[in-house]
Amino acid sequence: MKPLPERFHATLKTPLGWVAILGTPRGVRHLTLPKSTPEEALDAILAEEGSLGPERPDLLTEVMALLERYYRGEPVDFSQVDIDMEGRSSFYKKIWQTLRDLPRGETITYGALAARAGHPRAARAVGRAMAANPYPPIVPCHRVIGHGGRLTGFGGGLRLKAALLRMEGVKLQEGREDWTSASTHG
């Protein structure tokens, strides 16, 4: 069998826009939130990673199928998707792994996520980890909210964050950035 390339990529059109995926033999290395065009999605990965490798959707079919179902609003379990965290800080790895355990339809505050990961005073550092998350929605950073339930920062914008949460069944107060969901942790 021919060895896998060091890096490979694919793009996927979803109901919310184009997603680009960068893979390695270890798993998904980078994944974009939906963008307007496939070029915009690939450019977002290039800006962070520097290279893409060959286009090989055949090597990413499983994750592409899950992403398509997810963005159609279907319940999806991303827990079996391998992610390549090589070179990421140990703190970010711990936060991202902890967040992967948060069930669909639930939210958590930055402070509660920090505490759950064993760093109870690191809410701001959790915010930086969310901003640097290269695996959305496999690492569901859209589920992390501010103290008091406020919808806060998200690389795709608050409108997309709210749409993803609604798609997962989280109840939002219309016209506000607060939560009415009883599923909030923290």
Residue partners of 103: CB distance under 8 A and separation at least 6: none
Catalytic sites, residue numbers: 141
For residue 83, the cross-strand partners are 28
The two structure tokens encoding residue 175: 């016209």
Token pair of 100, please? 């992967």
Token pair of 82, please?
């391998």
CB-based contacts of 43: which residues, under 8 Å, 6+ apart? Answer: none
Helix axes 123-131, 90-100, angle to 10 degrees: 80
CA 139 to CA 128: how far, in whole Å? Answer: 14
